[in-house]
Amino acid sequence: MPASEHISEFIDRIADTLYALPGVEAVALGGSRAQGAERPDSDWDVAVYYRSGFSPDSVRALGWPGQVTDLGGWGPLFNGGGWLTVDGRAVDLHYRDLTLIERIHADACHGDFTIEPLLFHQAGIPSYILLAELGINRPLRGSLPVWEYPPALRASAPPIWWNGAYLTLHYAEAGHARHGRVAQCIGLLSQAACRTAHAILAHRGEWVTNEKRMLDAAGLRAVDRLVSGLGPDSDALVRAARDVRELLTNAIRAEGITTD
């Protein structure tokens, strides 16, 4: 049997099994595999969408090896899920509350959103990341809403992201670069770049679900060159901080985003 047929059977079985759990209204494939950008060793990102009556205990009862969190185990926004192994393949499971998603969409239509801390995300995640997933994920079972990028969000989000980036750039230079603190300085410059990328992509109305390819999508990959090879020389760190600020500011202005 061709490998593609094995894969089809695998994901169909995953989808059918999760869709049959109490409270689950839909199952979707996310991540690189939903976008056709996966590598042979890429894991499988699968989301279960529910409203009420769903319990992680029903996932645990499936007996798939791995870890399963309670609801809210990854925070109030990203909710929770699990790292599982099914038929020797890595499956990342995500819980998604449709009632919360609908509320986030209503807020986004008024230009309102929050930014929450999340492990592995330098700039944090905006609440509208759950809407972005719906715009990118591939439904496997059930039906899911798909919304256009709200115009009010395109107007409100860029200046909020850029203001955070600008303040972060200032502290990277004044708080760390001038004192030769390499790790803190570079960390803040990277965070500022990610915030700037969020601003640019929001201005364009492009959904983004994580930071992995965000700098490339926003045209900010040149930041790498500006921070590469830096050491504890405070003068070199200050120059790098100013060069990064100039690069990011020019990118924001080129997009037509107000920098005042």
Task: Return the percentage of the chain with pLDDT > 90, whole number.
Answer: 85
pLDDT tens-digit profile of 5-58?
Answer: 467 889 999 999 999 999 999 999 988 777 776 777 778 999 999 998 999 999
Task: Answer positive or negative: Cα dihedral of 132, 136, 138, 142.
Answer: positive
Helices (H), the chain: 3-19, 31-35, 56-60, 98-108, 129-136, 151-171, 182-204, 214-217, 223-227, 234-254
Domain boundary among 109, 141, 173: 141
Domain boundary among 112, 141, 170: 141
pLDDT tens-digit profile of 201-225?
Answer: 999 999 999 999 999 999 999 999 9
Residue 141 DSSP SS3: strand
Number of domains present in the structure of the chain = 2
pTM of the model: 0.92
In a domain, 42, yes or no: yes
For 42: left if phi > 0, alpha if psi spans -120 to 50, otherwise beta; the answer is: beta
Tell me how crowded residue 257 is: count the other CB atoms within 10 A of its CB: 17
Tell me how crowded residue 11 is: count the other CB atoms within 10 A of its CB: 19
Same domain, 104 and 163: no
Q: Report the distance separating Cα 240 and Cα 246, nearest Å.
A: 10
Q: Report the distance separating Cα 198 and Cα 209, nearest Å.
A: 10
Same domain, 122 and 162: no
Tell me how crowded residue 187 is: count the other CB atoms within 10 A of its CB: 16
In a domain, 259, yes or no: no
Reading the block at residue 96, the tokens are 């998604």
Q: Among 109, 201, 102, 112, which Cα is nearest to 209's?
A: 201
pLDDT tens-digit profile of 107-128?
Answer: 999 999 999 999 899 999 999 9
In a domain, 232, yes or no: yes
Note down the domain range covering 11.
3-141
Domain boundary among 106, 122, 141: 141
DSSP code at position 69: P
Place of tokens 């929050």: 114
